[in-house]
Amino acid sequence: MNIICQIVISANKAEFIQAICAVIVAVIALVALFSWRSQKRFEAVIELLINTHKAKEYMELLRDQSAGIKGYASAMSFRKTLNLKDIENIYERRMTEYQLVLEAKEPQLSELYGIVLDMRTKAWVLFGKNNKFYRFYDEIISMSMGIYFTHTAMIFTLERLIKGGLSEEDIKICQDQEYNFHDRIYRKPNDEITKKIEEMIAKLEEERPIFFWSDYEEDNYTNY
């Protein structure tokens, strides 16, 4: 009888030890999972923060009329038969120049826009739409689309002037529109769009030390 009791007790101890080990293994796995997730989120936040400057570069290039001049020669060589000096109509000349400058910048713009789009998607997947990073990249995309639409409107206005047949009043209206469109598209020191982008980046950079707090709760990432 004593032997049977000892066997039962030994079996119970073995099961108890196994149960304890299973719990310990589960806890370790859970801690490792949360550590891995926190590390991945941390790395993603750093990547999102670094690429804010790529977003700024994208907007500066898009809005810099002189930046495209670096690629202007290649754009002109692509259209070998075209010579701006041969275009007598001043409006057609300006329209062609606007288009060539944008065309010269397009490859780099496409590359930078792809980065901005990827970062917005990453911010949405990781943190949802209610965070500073998503709102930043979404605002950059929104502003760039506005600039492209304004550029299209400016080209349309110039096409009206090229076509002719307008009254003096309509010509004056179109000329004013072209000037206003040009003023809205191309960057000037400390203009509204430039200041807005710099302010948004500054706010994100102010939060950077928080990412290094060891006890920073995961849920707080949604505040970004």
Instruction: Give 131-188 pLDDT, tens digit per residue.
Output: 889 999 999 999 999 999 999 899 899 888 888 888 889 989 988 988 888 888 887 7
When pLDDT is cut at 50, 70 and 90, the band that residue 100 belongs to is confident
pLDDT of residue 116: 94
Amino acid code (one letter) for 54: K
Residue 189 has what pLDDT?
A: 76
Q: What is the chain's mean pLDDT, rounded?
A: 75
Q: What angle do CA 156, 159, 164 make, to 5 degrees?
A: 135
pLDDT > 50? residue 8: no
Is the pLDDT assigned to residue 89 strictly greater than 70?
Answer: yes
3-state secondary structure at position 168: helix
Q: How large is the angle between the packed helices 90-127 and 132-163, nearest 10 degrees? A: 160
Sign (positive/negative) of CA torsion 191, 60, 147, 172? Answer: positive
pLDDT band with cut points at 50, 70 and 90 for residue 2 = low
| DSSP-derived secondary structure for 132-184 | HHHHHHHHHHHHHHHHHHHHHHHHHHHHHHHH----HHHHHHHHHHHHHHHHH
Residues in the chain: 224
Task: Note the pLDDT of residue 83.
Answer: 53
Distance between CA atoms of residues 9 and 148, nearest Å: 79
Closest alpha carbon to 100 in 117, 127, 79, 122? 79
Contact status, residue 46 vs residue 211, Cβ threshold 8 Å: yes
Cα–Cα distance between 46 and 123 in angstroms, integer? 11
The residues, any chain, with a CB within 8 Å of residue 91's CB and separated by 6 or more, are 158, 161, 162
How far, in whole angstroms, is CA 4 from its chain's centroid?
72
pTM of the model: 0.70
> What does the pLDDT average to over 49-67?
85
